[in-house]
Copies of this chain bind each other. A is one copy, B any other.
Amino acid sequence: MRLKCTISYDGHLFNGYQVQPGKRTVQDELEKALAVLHKSKDRIPVVSSGRTDSGVHAAGQVIHFDTSLSIPTERWPYALNALLPDDIAVKQAEIADDGFHARFSAVKKEYRYFVYTEKHPDVFKRHYAYHFSYHLNVQNMREAAKHLIGTHDFTSFCATKTEVQDKVRTIYELDWTETDDGLQMRITGSGFLYNMVRIIAGTLLDAGIGKISPEDVKSMLEAKDREAAGRTAPGHGLYLWNVYYDN
């Protein structure tokens, strides 16, 4: 039986999602907990919608795995949360078709990026939002963002170490809204390249402080060169918010 689970994790004590020898990762903790639950000496492989970087959080990451255990669906989160460390939590579990795949079946992903602009650091946000204490012109950020919406070659907005060849992606929605103490970026798309959301956030913050004009984003896209776009905003402001599937 294939199980689909929605999980959240606090990224700050993890070296990202994906298993890396000798490092603490979300995938490793999930597979260890599942092995205990299954009384298995072997790992139970877990497939996610995609990896997240070191320090990056997830409010709604989706994973799947196959199991022979007959635990009622609504009990799965309790069973796993009892075995997982307290910085990972299973929020929901449901039975999926055998053909369901957390990565390949995903049709849309949503990320959010949080910035707070207060003068002094907020101790409660130090791992959970980017402290950027400058005046931000939201109107400019929104205008700059418009040029990124749609289907484009995002080579300029992708870490150079990416091995993926096809860098054409589609952004469906990209907006900035004001929060109590700063701004929140919400972005949805068909899929994202390595560091793409963080480079978009960094570039749009540059538009917010007037370092670039909104129009500059067009030439950045055309350049197809990582050097053309802005800096990579820090990982701790980023959340994988939701993964969408058809049905």
Residues of A within 8 A of B (CB): 8-10, 57, 77-78, 81, 86-91, 119-124, 126, 128
> Looking at the complex, which one of B78, B88, B124, B126 makes contact with A123 (CB distance below 8 Å)?
B88
Residues from chain B with a CB closer than 8 A to the CB of A91 are 120
| Distance in angstroms between the alpha carbons of A126 and B88 in the assembled complex | 10
Asked if A87 contacts B123 (CB within 8 A), the reply is yes
CB distance from A4 to the nearest CB of B (A): 16
Asked if A120 contacts B90 (CB within 8 A), the reply is yes
Residues from chain B with a CB closer than 8 A to the CB of A8 are 122-124
Asked if A9 contacts B123 (CB within 8 A), the reply is yes
Asked if B124 contacts A10 (CB within 8 A), the reply is yes
Residues from chain B with a CB closer than 8 A to the CB of A124 are 8, 10, 57, 128
Asked if A86 contacts B126 (CB within 8 A), the reply is yes
Q: Known A-B contacts: A10-B123, A89-B122, A90-B120. Give 14 more (CB < 8 A).
A: A8-B123, A8-B124, A9-B123, A10-B126, A77-B119, A81-B121, A86-B121, A86-B123, A86-B126, A87-B123, A88-B123, A89-B120, A89-B123, A124-B128
| Distance in angstroms between the alpha carbons of A120 and B7 in the assembled complex | 11
Residues from chain B with a CB closer than 8 A to the CB of A119 are 77
* Binding site secondary structure of chain A: mixed
| Distance in angstroms between the alpha carbons of A90 and B121 in the assembled complex | 8
| Distance in angstroms between the alpha carbons of A91 and B120 in the assembled complex | 6
Nearest B residue to A92, CB-CB:
B120
CB distance from A240 to the nearest CB of B (A): 13
CB distance from A217 to the nearest CB of B (A): 31
CB distance from A75 to the nearest CB of B (A): 12
Residues from chain B with a CB closer than 8 A to the CB of A120 are 77-78, 81, 89-91
Nearest B residue to A126, CB-CB:
B86
| Distance in angstroms between the alpha carbons of A10 and B86 in the assembled complex | 18
Residues from chain B with a CB closer than 8 A to the CB of A78 are 120
Nearest B residue to A87, CB-CB:
B123
